[in-house]
Structure 1
Amino acid sequence: MSMRAAARLAGVSQGAPAHHFKDRNGLLAAIAAQAFRDMVSLRMTRLDSVDANDGPARLRAVILGYVEFAQAHPARFHLMFSPQIVRRDQYPDLLQASGASFQLLRNAVALILPGARVGTLSEEELAFAVWAATHGLATLTVQGRKLPISATQRPTSSQLSEIVVQFCLAALRGPAAPD
């Protein structure tokens, strides 16, 4: 994408994007920041239909909303994490928007954790692990990868999502208490 192409698509003068975004990198950072805000909005809509005290349902809603956004907007999803945007730390709007997305996940993770931390990992580290599993799933499903779980079936993206949700819930709950 060029600044000229962006101006043409927006129906403005060729100099208008440069006035608002300085350069192509600034424009891409603004697009990525809006994508993060849109993803948070979608996930919040999912959370609105879930009991505020139902930790597993809230984590499921946040994870599935992430995957749903990625599948619905693959180009935007790719841009959000793309190395095309250099010097990300120079774009406070992008940092805030991506931070809000992570905080949403972290809040859902916190509802699942038992009174004490699981093992030696902090809440933030556990949230990162859940994000890594969620992001990996979203990336694989967006790329259309068919992952055989067994020799006889190829699970749908919904089935794969449920596997990841169940895995994350089990990991966050920690070892089962002996009977």
Structure 2
Amino acid sequence: MEQALQGHILLVDDEVPITRALHRALRAPLGHQVNIVTCNSGADAVGELLARRFDVIVSDLRMPDMGGMELLVLAADIQPHCVRMILTGTADFATAQEAVNKFGLYRYLTKPWDIDELVRHISSALKFSIEQRAQKDQALQWAASQSPAGAHALEMHRLEALEPGITRVEWDAAGCVVLPSNL
């Protein structure tokens, strides 16, 4: 049995009915472990990107004030590991190619969408994002373990997770360990 997906998705379109339809189309197939946030402007989406981590962002291409390309360039700066996708009513190869080259677009999807295809692409993006984060975490752990200081920091982190406060030591002026009064 396949493990249930978990993660955070940001859907951006200036048309409220579109974001509602996307949310409805994705909610049941992705499950309730996936948090879906919708925004109806690029500015609101930037606020969300600054406030919390997302695994996937799907943006409309043509929106007033801040278009999808501009938003996804900002998203790449704010959250470089967030997988970026465009969903647009215009199938334009030149724009898709520019998006891939400019900020590493994962997919270029068109409206109207096929629900099964939409779910498949967004599920794939979510899995890709989670795998990338796990690989990065594993690489950081490996790099930290290659130096004595890194291995020490990893062990301190492990011990703190087991027993909060266990690695904190208080010293007096003479260099003696001060034991907490509640012992």
Normalising by the smaller structure, the TM-score range is under 0.3
- TM-score scaled by length of structure 1: 0.24
Name which structure has the greater RCO, CA cutoff 8 Å, separation 6+: 1
**Higher Rg:** 2
- TM-score scaled by length of structure 2: 0.24
